[in-house]
Each structure stands twice: as structure tokens, then as C-alpha cells.
Structure 1
Amino acid sequence: MESTQHIVTSLISSARVDRLAIVLFGLAIYLVRTYYYHGLNKIPGPFIASITSLWKWNAVRREEMHTISAELHDKFGPLVRIGPNHISASSAEAINVVHRARNGFLKPKYLGTDLHNIFSTQDAEYHGALKRTMGSLYTTTAVMPLEFHLDDCTKLFLTKMNELIGSRKSAPVDLAGWLQYYTFDSLGMINFSQKLGFLEAGVDLDGICHYDHDQMLYFATWGQIASTERVWSNVKDYLFSKKENPLFHFVVKIIKERQENPTDSTDMLSSFLALHNAAPEKFTARDLLAAAYINVVTAHDVVAITLRGAVYWLARHPEVQKKLQKEIIDMAEAGKLSNPSQYSEITTMSYVLAVTNETLRYHPSTGIIFERVCPKGGVTLHGQYIPENTHIGVNAWVINRDKSIFGEDADTFRPERWIESEPAAVTKMKMNLFTFGAGARHCIGRNLAMMQLTKIIVELYRNYDIMLAQPEKEWKVSGGWLTRQSDMPMIIGKRGSLLGA
């Protein structure tokens, strides 16, 4: 009896070992196949990234993807394997091949994009048609009539700063928050002729800023392992109550009110409604809602991140701040600058534009690659064949500091490069500045963003000196989809009070 029991026990143990061996053998085959997938093993990168997407998931989760990517490209060169089927590229050649190509590099499917829009769509024909329909609304000529909305928000912003300073020489201020509030309210005015109320309240109303940051970080993190996210999303929705999106509901409410009570307001919504009414089959109600929402939810971060970057690096380089102020004051004293300044005047101010371009270069608003899918037949890039269906894209954080494009001091914040460099070098820098993307998918709102950025920069430094409250402390940068900054306490004072005349 004991012998029989011993035999049975041995057989069971043996079966368990066999099953474990089969599992381990299958896992080994999977890992080897993944590592050598379509020859991508020839492209250098972290070993763990070559066998699992959890590597990039973790890098984004830790909000360090922007700095890690820069370190990897410094070590390995213009092509780095960051996932089993993902390549990060960084070169002017890569921008031309991947992002300016006309041979079918499509966007992959993103998470949370049920609202089909010009940013998220994979359909090249739909994107092209929608861009042709909407594109005329985003030219410099088209956005100029909206400028008075920015003036209204700038005046309120300055009033709030003056209230904070009061009768004192200077005052501590959370400019990271206030610049976010300004951006949201100014976009509310441009799009709907209505502020969202951030500037007046001086707080994050309804937690919109916090909610938006959490959402974008979620998309960035879980987008690295999309198949797993689909499972987690179902579990999450079952276990936890779904948070409402206050900004989306605000946009829906505004559109409904405008349709029920039409106005002659000069804003983007009026233009969108005119497009929809004229050709509802080309610009549907869904397109209208998507355009109005995306105009606020994506644009505000690009502008706010760049404005934070400007005030932070100008505070880190007070000599640059004083040089900027001199150009502004000289223009004003010569009677060439209105109060508030007008964009047509600002476009003649070389140093203001140089500071803006340098900030866009030095601190781009995205920290992960602009993903595209290799077309049928694959491509050859930097002598390396990359097969079809490989996800590849350029990382703005890396390419914007490429020394072969921006000079040997590309790791230094130096606006003068945009003025003192040879014309051919400036053209090369402008061509490869990747903050707004490139090719057919470049940011459609670039002209509007430049007007927003430069106008508030001029008024800030016409009126104030801005310093770091804790210059020994580095700010915090979230290195996910967006490189949003925090922990940057500032001191603001009337111009000449902190830096001298």
C-alpha cells in the first residue's frame, strides 16, 4: 500500500515538473522570439525593453521617460529599441522619413479616443479631409481677429498679480498654477467667448487641472501596454465609480446653449458652427464637438508648459530676462508697442521670438515619442531595416537637443542661437524644432499658440521681475505624455524691484 502511494505521489510530482518544464520552455520560446522579432534585436536598447513593454510602462509611470530617452540616445545613437515592437528615433532624417513621409505612416490607436478627432484619428483620408475643412480657421490671418480675447485675459491676469503684490516690493506666487489658469481662461474666451473662471477664483475650479493631469498621465502610462489596459479598464470601471470629466461637460453645455441661442460672437465656436451649418456632411455634429473640446484640452497644456518653461529659465538666467525686458521697454518707449501689445508688433521683436523658440526647443511639451506605424514593406533608416507594423516615432525631448542641429551648446538655454546663427543654420533649426510635430500631423493650432505665448510673455516682463523663491531647488517635471512642471515657487515684483533697472 505504501509502495503504491509512493508511486502515485512520484507520478504527481513528475507531472508537475513536466508541466512546469513545458511552461518554462514555452516562456523561453516566447522571449527568444520577442527578442529577435523581425530583426529588431539589431537595434540597441535596454535588454528588458526588447522582451516586454513593461519597461516603457514603468519609465512613464515613474514620469522619467523624457530624461531616460535622452540618456539612451546619448548612449546608443539615433535609433533605440524601447519595446518589443517600438523604436525611438532622433534625427532630422527620422523626422523626414517617419513624420513628413507620404507613404502611409499612420498613427496607432490611442486609449480614450472614442471622440474621433483630428488629433487621434488613424484614418489618413479622414484626417486630410478634416484638416482641409478646418485648416483655414487656424491661419495667422484667421486667428488675429480673436486677439482681443487674449487682451481681456491678460488684463485680468495682471490685475491678479498686482493684488498679490499689493503695497509690497514683491510677493511669493505659484506661477505654475496661475499660468495654467491663464491658459484655460484665454482658451475659453477664444473658443467660446467665456472664461472658465480660473483667473477670477485663483484656484483649480472643479479640480479640472488635477483631473486633466491625471487623465493624461493615465493615457500615457497605460498606453504603453494597451492590451493590458483594456482588461484593467473593465476591472476599474467595475470596482470604482467612474469620474466625470468636468471640462467635457462644460464644452457640451456651451455648444448646446449656443445652438439654442445663436449669437454673433467672434470666437472659434462660431466658426465651427458656421462650418457645420454650411456642410454638415463634411463637418458633422461629432466633428464640431471634438474640435471644440480638443481645442481646449490639448492646447492648454502646450501653452501652459511653455509659459512655465519661459519664466523658470528666465529666472535661472537673469541676464537673459533683463535683455528681454530691454527689448520690450525700448519698443514701448519708441512708440512701437501698444498696451497691451499686439501680435503684429510682437512679430518684429527678435528677442521675444528667440526666447519663445528657445523655450519651445529646450522644454518641449511631450516626453514620449510621437508614435507612427511603419507602412507595408517597411523602411530603412540610418542603414537599419525596420519592418512594417513596427511602432516608431521621434521624441521631441531628444531631437530638440540634437547638437548636429542646434549646436554644441544644445544642452544650454541660450535664445541668442536663433539670432546670431547663420541664416542656413536658423532655417535648419526651425525645420527640425519638433515641439509642434512635423508633416501632415503637425499641430494645427501652432499659430494660435504662438500668439498666446508671446503676448503674455511681453506683458509679464514689461511689468514685472520674476525670480525663483528657492534657486537651489530644481522643479519637478512629469516625464510622460506631457512634461508638465510643478514645485516651482516664484517671487514676482514690479519691474526693476528685484533685478534692478
Structure 2
Amino acid sequence: MVSFSSPEALQTIHGSRQAYPKSDFYKPTSARFEGAPLLNLFSVRDVNYHSTLKKTVAGLYTKAAVLGLEPKIDGCVELFTQRIGDKISEDSPARLDISSWVHLFAFDCLGELNASKKFGFLESGQDIKGMIEGSDRILIKTGLFAQSPILQFVRRVMEAAKGPGQINPVMRYASTIVRERLEKPTTTPDMLNNFIQLQRSQPGCLSTREIIGALYINLMAGHDVLAVTIRAVLYYVARNPEVEEKLRAELMMLGPGKAPFAELAKLPYLDAVIHESLRIHGNLGLVNERVAPRGGAIIDGYRIPGGTIVGINPWVIHRNTAIYGEDVDTFRPDRWLDGPEERIAEMRRNLFSVVRRGSPNVHWEEYCHDAVV
């Protein structure tokens, strides 16, 4: 496997019209469900099927579609701040594991967005039914199996001998909530109803199994990405008082009360803080593996034989000094505000953590769950 770190390589591998199919790295990301892998946009490797599925669900992840669910996020934010306030008033001096509370928020928020149901994490202040713990184990195991193909073979042998293990809690929840909703329809706006409405308006375009797969990956991958991102923002802002002061001053310009996304999106320093947090602490630290086309390819001037696994590690390209400057190890939001527009545009194009639909350099659909949050 060859890892690259240049803008040209990123464009070639992830933005080229020439197909670079996914490697066996993605096999373990398809959780087994009812005797077969449960495919989704992230895990599916068949190029044609991937293209068809992407076209089918793309409209549900547009900015306009996602903004329609903003009130659900508002409710979760209000509950989150209320619970933190309660804990602070209870304990003097207060001692909180903010990392844990952020994860509780992420899961509850995704529950609301996807199925109009919080999991009760924020209310209880704890992981319910071991969903976070179980998900973390699965993510660690998936990463290990993805990087060590021999372990995939060992797992298949063990499952053949002993049978598959217990279904993970997120998978159980996704399959249960989808079937319940199909039996007892609602009109509540959420991602699940969006999937069901699409299925009914275009018969045959989306199976119930594919809906379960979409909901599963939204929850399974989404909670981790959201929690990592918020933690990074809070951590680096807290460690840099001058950044916190400037950010507070900008937010105060909005006045008291909650601010909608449309207003927050206009704040340049907030935007810079988020981009810098994603740069210095990307929410994915692995290479997004692809396979060089059968006839081979020229990447960064090197001739790569067909079948070679290639990719970009976000943590590496985010520290490319030719793109982000010599101080790449420093948390400095102003880098997204200083300098020529061309340079800032180049930095945005190569930020491999935040992926926007329509970006010319990446396969945005791999991160479709990020759009939901």
C-alpha cells in the first residue's frame, strides 16, 4: 500500500473520473445482518452498485434537506447545556468529563435526527445499554481487521465454527426502528421518514434492507465523527485563551439566545476555528484505501502498478507545509483568514476531514453521515 500526501495525489485518487475502486479495507465495515453483509455507501465496493445507490439517496443529504432538521439539533443543544448546568450547580467545585458528555450528546442528537428518538443518554448522564461502549469496540475491531486482512479470514473461520456473535446494539436498534416505522408510519420529519418516503415514491429504488444499512451507518459512524469533532474544537479553544476570547466576542455580536445555522454560517472566525480544529485533529486517522486501475496509474510522478493499494491519510496531508504553512503543528485559526484567497481556497480543497458534496477532489458520499450532523 502506498500512502500519498500531495494535493495532486488527492485529486488523482479521489477526484479523478478514472475509477479507483475501494480495497478489501472496507470489507469489515459491512456488519453482518441476517446472514449477509449489510451494505451502505461507505462500505459498498462494487462501483456500479455504489453509483446507483449514491444517485438514489443523494438528494436526502443536500444542505437544504439537512437544514430542515435543524430544530431537532436545537432541542438536543438545549438539553445538553441544561444538563451541564445542572451538574455544575450540583457540584462545587464542578468536575465533569466533558469528553463523555459530548459523546452522550452526539448519540442523542443522531437519534433525534434519524428517528426522532433520543436514546436517553443526556437525561441519564450515562451510556444506555452499552451502545457507546459496544460501538467503540466495533470501531476498534473494524480498524484492526481492515488493516490486517489475515484477521478477516480468521474471523470467518471462527464464525463458521461457532456461529456469529451477538448483534451489536446499534444494528439491533436500526433494524427495529425501521420495521416499527414501516408498520406504524408517522409524519415526523427525520431521516428515516425521508428514506421511507423515497422508497414509496420510487418503488424498487430502495429496499428496506438498504434503509436499515443507511440508518445504521448514520448512527454507527456519525456519532464517533461528531463526538471527535466537537471534542477537538472544545479542547483547542480551551487551550488557547486568545482564540476563546476572539470567538466569544464574535458570538456575542449575535445577541442573546440561540442562533440559527444561517446566522452562524456568516461568522468568519467561528468558521476558521472549526476548519482549524478539523485540520489539526482530523476525525479520521486512517488511509482511505483505493486500488489503482488495472492498467496502472501515474501518481505524484510515480508509476503505480495496477492493483496497488493507494490512498491519502488526512493527518498527513493536513500537515503538508506547502499547503498549510510551516507552523502546521500549531493551532492557528487565523491561517484560514490571512493571506490571498487562492491560498485559502487551496487549503479548503485539501481539508480531508470536512467533506462537502460537490467538492472536486473527494468522494463526498463516503462521509454522507457527516452531512446529517
Q: Same fold (TM over 0.5)?
A: yes
Which residue identity is paired with 1:385? Answer: R
Q: Which string of whole-angstrom CA distances, capped at 9 and with x for unpartnered residues, describes residues 62-120 of structure 1?
A: xxxxxxxxxxxxxxxxxxxxxxxx11111101101111111110011321411111111
Contact 1:208 1:247 in 2 (8 A): yes
Contact 2:113 2:372 in 1 (8 A): no
Residue 168 of structure 2 corresponds to: 245
- CA distance in structure 1 between the partners assigned to 2:194 and 2:155 by the alignment: 40
For structure 1, the 5+ residue unaligned runs are 1-85, 334-338, 450-501
- Residue among 340, 365, 374 paired with 2:258: 340
- CA distance in structure 2 between the partners assigned to 1:173 and 1:242 by the alignment: 35
Q: Tell me how far 1:408 sits from its aligned partner.
A: 1.3
- CA distance in structure 1 between the partners assigned to 2:254 and 2:72 by the alignment: 23
Residue 368 of structure 2 corresponds to: 444
- CA distance in structure 2 between the partners assigned to 1:156 and 1:274 by the alignment: 29
- Residue among 371, 374, 377 paired with 2:289: 371
Residue 327 of structure 2 corresponds to: 409
Which residue identity is paired with 1:414? Answer: R
CA RMSD of aligned residues (A): 1.8
Q: Which string of whole-angstrom CA distances, capped at 9 and with x for unpartnered residues, describes residues 303-346 of structure 1?
A: 1101111111111112111211111112216xxxxx22210110
- CA distance in structure 2 between the partners assigned to 1:434 and 1:408 by the alignment: 19
Name the CA shift for 1:132/1:232 in 2 (closer, same or farther; >3 Å): closer
Q: Tell me how far 1:194 sits from its aligned partner.
A: 0.5
- Residue among 290, 297, 317 paired with 1:399: 317
Name the CA shift for 1:257/1:172 in 2 (closer, same or farther; >3 Å): same
Q: Identity of aligned pairs, percent?
A: 34
Contact 2:222 2:370 in 1 (8 A): no
2:15 is the counterpart of 1:115: no
Secondary structure class of the residue paired with 1:331: coil
Residue 104 of structure 1 corresponds to: 19
What is the aligned length?
A: 359
Secondary structure class of the residue paired with 2:94: strand
Contact 2:321 2:327 in 1 (8 A): yes
- CA distance in structure 1 between the partners assigned to 2:241 and 2:159 by the alignment: 48
For structure 2, the 5+ residue unaligned runs are 31-36, 356-360
- CA distance in structure 2 between the partners assigned to 1:267 and 1:360 by the alignment: 27
Which residue identity is paired with 2:325? Answer: G
2:250 is the counterpart of 1:327: yes
Q: Tell me how far 1:131 sits from its aligned partner.
A: 1.5
Q: Which string of whole-angstrom CA distances, capped at 9 and with x for unpartnered residues, describes residues 196-227 of structure 1?
A: 11111111111111111111111111222213
Residue 418 of structure 1 corresponds to: 336
2:6 is the counterpart of 1:91: yes
Residue 358 of structure 2 corresponds to: none
Name the CA shift for 1:350/1:170 in 2 (closer, same or farther; >3 Å): farther
Contact 2:72 2:109 in 1 (8 A): yes
- CA distance in structure 2 between the partners assigned to 1:253 and 1:232 by the alignment: 26
Q: Which string of whole-angstrom CA distances, capped at 9 and with x for unpartnered residues, describes residues 363-420 of structure 1?
A: 1111110000000111112222110111110000110111111111111111111112
Q: Describe how 1:227-242 pairs up with structure 2 within 5 A.
A: 227-235=150-158, 238=161, 242=165
2:305 is the counterpart of 1:390: no
Say which is worse superposed, 146-155 or 374-383, in terms of deviation.
374-383
Contact 1:118 1:130 in 2 (8 A): yes
Contact 1:111 1:226 in 2 (8 A): no
TM-score by length of 2: 0.92
- CA distance in structure 2 between the partners assigned to 1:322 and 1:279 by the alignment: 51
Q: Tell me how far 1:168 sits from its aligned partner.
A: 6.4
Residue 427 of structure 1 corresponds to: 345
Contact 1:140 1:448 in 2 (8 A): no
Secondary structure class of the residue paired with 2:372: helix
Q: Describe how 1:12-411 pairs up with structure 2 within 5 A.
A: 86-109=1-24, 110-113=27-30, 114-166=37-89, 171-235=94-158, 238=161, 242-332=165-255, 339-411=257-329
Q: Report the structure number with the largest CA radius of gyration.
A: 1
Secondary structure class of the residue paired with 2:333: coil
Q: Tell me how far 1:167 sits from its aligned partner.
A: 6.5
- CA distance in structure 2 between the partners assigned to 1:320 and 1:196 by the alignment: 34
